[in-house]
Amino acid sequence: MKSRRAVTLIEVLVAIGIVALLIGITIPAIQKVRESALRTKSTNNVRQIMLGMHNFAAAHGNTMPGRTSWADSNYQHIDENIPIYITIASYLEVNVDRSSFDPDKPETMLVPVYMDPGDPSWLANPTLTDTRTQGYCSYPINVWAFGGANRNAPAGYPDGMSHTIGIGGHYMRCGKGPRSQSIWDLAFGPPDSERRRATFADPWYKDVVPKNDPARGLTIPSVLGKTFQARPSLDECDPSVAQTPYRAGLIVGMMDGSSRTIRPSVAIGVFWAAVTKDGNEVIDLD
């Protein structure tokens, strides 16, 4: 009878090494595929939202939704007290029943198209067991694009609607303290409150905002060096700027209804020029 050859320790270690190598190669590839799928879903959400904006405009004399002024005490019309994300709910292609919204019933305040599937503050609580998630939003509105008396498309956008950011990205929960929670069902909120309307570059909340630098003919941020955060942790998240959970960059909806991804390496002046709608800048986000 033949005796079986025993497996040596070296052979076991080699086998373990090969398995570890395969795992090391496979996991990053799986993560990239997963992130790509989440980014595709998020991009589709942005397109759906911007389509809702344009559907609203088509029904209102080509006037985009928004505010004449974003100061809470300076609304010009009673309709402006309605948050934009509630205003456009009936104009989305997805089925959203505006009449069903009830802040006392958190399950009625969950609109998936307003939630980025890659947002880590959403992923931290996927079962939504925390009722404070009601009304949370991952896609803040650019107050510079949806503000002012003239929001007629395209005349109200001298820089060009394809060159003006309409909505960007923002973690639903961002950091701790004031302005940490982005809520789509708020028209406004106290500047020192944790709950803020889903906006970015919003002076009411002391966000970083675009400023004109006449000496250089550039649009610059009110805090030097700031654009948006790329993949910050929840604790490092800065509510005064936009965020993206994706390595590729910040997914934005342009005012012409298109969507694009802005790389983290974007020039600071180019990014903030795209935030303004009438700065007379020529930009190239590519």
Which letter does DSSP use for residue 211 in this model?
A: E
The helix, strand and coil proportions of the chain, stated in percent and rounded to the nearest 5, come to 30, 15, 55
Residue whose token pair is 């270690």: 13
Tokens found for residue 37: 């799928």
Residue with tokens 């990014």: 271
Average pLDDT over residues 247-258: 96
Residue bearing the bigger pLDDT, 74 or 86: 86
State how far the Cα of 205 lies from the Cα of 220, in Å rounded to an integer.
Answer: 18
Per-residue pLDDT reduced to its tens digit, 153-185: 999 999 999 999 999 999 988 888 778 888 888
Q: Which residues share a beta bridge with 242?
A: 228
Coil, helix or strand at residue 249: coil
Give dist(CA 204, CA 189) in Å, integer. 9
Structure tokens at 186: 């708020």
Task: Tell me how far apart the alpha carbons of residues 171 and 234 are, in angstroms, rounded to a whole number.
Answer: 8
Mode of pairing for the β-strands spanning 165-167 and 242-244: unpaired
Predicted pLDDT at 35: 79
Residue 114: pLDDT band with limits 50, 70, 90? very high
Q: Residue 74 — pLDDT band, cuts 50, 70, 90? A: low
Supply the pLDDT for residue 152: 93
Question: Structure pTM?
Answer: 0.84
Kindly report the backbone phi and psi dihedral angles of residue 119, in degrees, each rounded to the nearest multiple of 5, phi listed first.
-65, 120
The sign one gets for the Cα dihedral 114, 116, 120, 123 is positive
d(CA 122, CA 134): 11
The lowest-confidence range among 72-81, 146-155, 185-194 is 72-81
Amino acid at 162: S
Span 262-281, average pLDDT: 91
The pLDDT value given to residue 195: 86
The 10s digit of each residue's pLDDT in 94-110 is: 777 767 777 777 677 77
Res 251: pLDDT: 97
Residue 215 has pLDDT above 70, yes or no: yes
What is the rounded distance in angstroms from the CA atom of residue 108 to the CA atom of residue 89? 13
Q: How many residues does the chain have?
A: 286
Q: Model confidence over 8-32: pLDDT tens digits? A: 777 677 778 777 777 677 666 566 6
By percentage, how much of the chain surpasses pLDDT 90? 51
